[in-house]
Chain A
């Protein structure tokens, strides 16, 4: 019996995740149109040049502050938030999961560690709320978003910053700090998109973050029977998976490497007075690579929207099935509340 490890999020979390994703993507597109302005000149131009881009960046930045503060407050004041906190603390199981993941890749383990499973042959309760990667994402993204919001606000009020640190160079150091910190997050988000988009069982997007747990019917058929396997052998691979995952994986790697190299070069105050194509130490390869990285982000944006479409579709199907007059037609396996969900692989 297979069981999908989705529906771990609450409705508030899924909505928050989508809003945060949208906001952060806009911040990335504008922020890196500024930082990598010689490689992403077209993006800078499309968004109205330096002034247009910085305006959008600030509006979305304020949105980020609202979202971050909302989330921190919610985690503190609600019992759910406080109880979830203990579940995201790193544990020995996470180290074991990392080691077993490597062994799995090398063929020395048959399965991924339960703490690393996104597709698991266990009841939802038996699989941890978050994998070790998920915990890392929560911690790293939380710290980075907070630091980015603070440094961003300091940069915004740069006369205040200059007064605080006495020199213009100090103010510029904050800009550099802000941009380089963002690069770490940019690379992490590319990985995040790859990880949740290219899992063969969930391709093209894992719905965990879009379909809230309250909407996921759980299997009650044979509770006594413990699953022997993950059940993945029952799933059919999507015909396009091998090609798409290979192309997208390559794009992810190229994108990460390129923004990493680009960030090493672009260390100064990144906004020139005049738009200068090739004004920095750019090269054709770096330009292509950084643009590929932006395509990876674009795919992430599309997948995020697609995840929301799937939720709406799921809601409609659930509603239809709950109409007493509607006979269960067995048409869509996802809505088979009482059926094993071994076939939910597509989503």
Chain B
């Protein structure tokens, strides 16, 4: 038997009854993230029926439409709350939550920290393109300080959110960051995130040249991918760098990797204990 190519895997998982073409711009990194997600599910051998993809609103939210899993496209910022309900109702399911940076860090920021605190057994995949893409290029909590967007034409005054620090601080079990330029590494991260118990956060840096790049020195998609190549450094190397060298660099890799049981596991244990004591 010949080796299965990437394309053949993708075709097993796409919905052929969905009317293509998809909504993403040429050069967008979101398709690459979706590709790594599908390949990691394939590699882990998880049956399609055991996967639920829950997505928020925006460009990343639309990814759920195209893949042949159980898919739920929710309200803006609330994907994690739906995912929490699904996981608690059916703990055997692999629940993967796809969100954008605006989705997860702004309107959904409260849900993100509480999902992490609760350590619910969901994989949160945050596609960070530093901008609100679908609504036309307004600033997001991940827009870098000084960057230009439709809602800060004179430069962003707010500091940018560090997703990794936020997720770690709130108590997530597994926290990692990758980029769509470093595809193999991102795929490895994704596999680990899905396999771990508890709450996993994967931040995937994915360029939006249409809304972000063209206003911020990156005229073409190629410019954006070159930036990712230059800016991203493995966390191990980043830690050895001087303050000067760290400027404009983005550490990638695994930041937190623990095996604490998820909320659903702890709940089921409590329930077993209570019922043994004399429940119905």
A joins B in a complex = no
Instruction: Give the B-binding residues of A (Cβ under 8 A).
Output: none
